[in-house]
A and B are shown apart, each in its own frame.
Chain A
Amino acid sequence: MFQGRIIDTKLRKLSIQDAEKFIASSDFGASIFFSGTVRNQNDNKSVIGITYDTHDALVIQSFEEIYNEANEKLEIKNKAVFIDHAKGYLNLGEISIIIAVATKHREEAYKLSRYIIEEIKKRSPIWKKEHYQNSESNWLKGNPLVNEKN
């Protein structure tokens, strides 16, 4: 059972309640909710907000791939996974990502939750532009999907 979405922050906020509703099932004995929020410091700079940019189709595709990989790589077949990621501007403390997982046992749930966030960081086309107290802003460097060309 899977749901992955990009949430336009101009239209609505990310909601843990949405995640709870989606993964609720008596088939599962363990559930984990991970949320990422905008923090006020990065590289010794005072951050006041972040703009998230996404390639929506590729992001959703990557979420589905990550979900499907868990069957074989982690050997977790029975599971519910909910992933929401923000697109647009967020203030300090607002939620940028929610990953909710439900599995039969806690060990699988911890493993799956960690796997999903690490893989999203590596391969989902999402970008962050930090906005600072001094009115400047900066796209964060990120990880390339290809080796550098000359």
Chain B
Amino acid sequence: MKVKIELFGATRDFSDQNILELSLNNDSTIEDARIEIIKYLKKNFDGNKDFVRIVNTSAFSSENNNIVSDNYKIKNNEKIAIIPPIGGG
């Protein structure tokens, strides 16, 4: 299935498109998406350690704007947001 990951904050440096498109198995979870993003970083950024750390400290939000846990099952074509460590104000 196809999943779109909307990039925010420091993760915007992962792509010029502000979005990553992943192909995942059906019934994949946030944990699977996290693994797939890290694979993408290994391939495209030589596994940049800072980038990997950002992914490992990021939360994710479902398309209906709920922060979801790692076992959340992603729907086909769902747009998920990655929420790296925050700090506004």
Contact = CB atoms under 8 A, between A and B. Distances in A.
Interface in B23-65: 34, 53, 56-59, 61, 65
Interface residues of B, number: 23
Interface residues of A, number: 33
A25 to B, nearest CB: 26
B57 A97 contact: no
A139 B8 CA distance: 11
Nearest to B13: A139
A36 B56 CA distance: 30
What is the predominant secondary structure among interface residues of chain B facing chain A?
mixed
A144 B57 contact: yes
Contacts of A121: 87-89
A141 B59 contact: no
Interface string A46-78: 000000111101110100000000000000000
Contacts of A96: 88-89
B66 to A, nearest CB: 9
A97 B81 CA distance: 23
